[in-house]
Structure 1
Amino acid sequence: MGSRALEITIISGEGLRLSRSKRVEKNAFVTVSADQTQILASTRMDVDGGSYPTWNDKIFVDIPIQSRFLIVEVQCKSKYNGDRVVGGVRIPVKDFVGGFTPTNYLNFLSYRLRDRKGEKNGIINISIKVNSTKGDHVDGFNYSQPWLTASYNNQIAATTIVGNKDSNNGIVTGFPVW
């Protein structure tokens, strides 16, 4: 099984609340996981930001190729209750992988957070860059670099260049996708 190497920068949060009447005062941090796996990484705690924390923490994670979601949760460390989830979001991997987005493209994204009850609870601002795709290289060939996609009468033709990365020659393949 392959994995995708992601560079995620957790930039900031906006309007975070512990309840309708109580704002987050301090000690907010963010955890990142893929689908339903264990936590892959977390940020440092913002001790001063209150309900508008700023982290600007860059984290590097590898997520499995088959992962459909990246789960980002904002949590708050409490002196009495331990870690408490303020809000979270399930980010579809297709928001930053595939389509016309090339590898190493920096995506700036903002998402609405939802608390455990499903109610709106702030916004998270992040950037995500897919550094490389592991597991799709066979014998020095890369089989997954899209080169051109065109459509005509609802038919999509995808073209892929297959070749050794150290040479200037390669095989161009195309196939219709209905």
Structure 2
Amino acid sequence: MSPINLKATSSFQTLEITVLSCEDLRINGRSVKKNTCVVVRTDPLNFRETTTDTEGGSYPSWDQKLALDMSIRETCITLEVHCRTLSVDRIIGSARMPVNDFMGGYFPQGYLSFLSYRLKDPKGLDNGIINVSAVFESNPFVKMLGKLMQSEASDRHTPAEKDGRARKVDAELGLGI
């Protein structure tokens, strides 16, 4: 069995974001009629998008869960609302969602946050609101490592007992030690 690349494994976490809805979307001051979707991106190559809402007009609704693997070094996620026709895909509003809004010292791992952000059109003017929920989960290795570190900090064992517990975790991860 090949060993797990610890550097690659521990540097990514999974963001589960549910795109709920938008409010008061406009194009050139007029209400949006239909065909809106949301693109959630951490960088130009790492993104997910919702299905197209064809009936919601200026108040579209998706209630769609998207999962993104992202580096633990990311500081913001970009939310872009697009309006699509046969010939044009136009960004009608975008917002930057700071990672600290749903993950950080105030929120435990796996905490569900409901958030709303003001959208800005390409000219920088206010253009509606986007509503999302987000949960940040670390990968299984990071979770298991955190549990091991937490248990070692909370109780006192002899070095031999600690070594035995570390070997058990290694075996569970398939590190073959």
> For the superposition of Structure 1 and Structure 2, which TM-score range results when normalised by the shorter chain?
0.7 to 0.9
The corresponding residue for 1:78 is 85
**How far 1:38 sits from its partner (Å)?**
2.4
* Equivalent residues of 1:27, 1:77 under 8 A apart: yes
The answer for unaligned runs of 5 or more in structure 1 is 146-160, 164-168, 173-178
For residues 131 and 27 of structure 1, the distance between their equivalents in structure 2, rounded to whole angstroms, comes to: 31
* Equivalent residues of 2:46, 2:68 under 8 A apart: no
The corresponding residue for 1:68 is 75
Question: Which of 29, 47, 50 is matched with 1:40 structurally?
Answer: 47
**How far 1:45 sits from its partner (Å)?**
0.3
**How far 1:51 sits from its partner (Å)?**
0.5
Counterpart residue type for residue 119 of structure 2: L
Secondary structure of 1:94 counterpart = helix
Structure 1 28/39 Cα, relative in aligned 2: closer, same or farther at 3 Å?
Answer: farther
Secondary structure of 2:105 counterpart = coil
Question: Which of 14, 17, 38 is matched with 1:5 structurally?
Answer: 14
Residue 25 (1) aligns with residue 29 (2) = no
For residues 73 and 119 of structure 2, the distance between their equivalents in structure 1, rounded to whole angstroms, comes to: 24
Aligned-residue sequence identity (percent) comes to 39
- Identify, as 1 or 2, the structure richer in helix: 2
Counterpart residue type for residue 170 of structure 1: E
For residues 141 and 93 of structure 1, the distance between their equivalents in structure 2, rounded to whole angstroms, comes to: 22
Question: Which of 83, 86, 97 is matched with 1:91 structurally?
Answer: 97
- Greater relative CO (CA pairs within 8 A, separation 6+): 2
Secondary structure of 2:100 counterpart = helix
The structure whose Rg is larger is 2
* Equivalent residues of 1:111, 1:125 under 8 A apart: yes
- Identify, as 1 or 2, the structure richer in strand: 1
**How far 1:39 sits from its partner (Å)?**
4.6
With structure 1 as the length reference, what TM-score do the two structures score? Answer: 0.75
Counterpart residue type for residue 162 of structure 1: M
The answer for unaligned runs of 5 or more in structure 2 is 1-7, 155-177
TM-superposition CA deviations, 1:60-97 (whole Å, max 9, x none): 111111111000000010233x2100100011111111
* Equivalent residues of 1:3, 1:134 under 8 A apart: no
- What are the equivalent positions in structure 2 for 1:13-162 lying under 5 Å apart? 13-20=22-29, 22-34=30-42, 36-80=43-87, 82-133=88-139, 136=142, 141-142=145-146, 162=149
* Equivalent residues of 1:4, 1:134 under 8 A apart: no
With structure 2 as the length reference, what TM-score do the two structures score? Answer: 0.76
Aligned residues: 146
**How far 1:131 sits from its partner (Å)?**
2.3
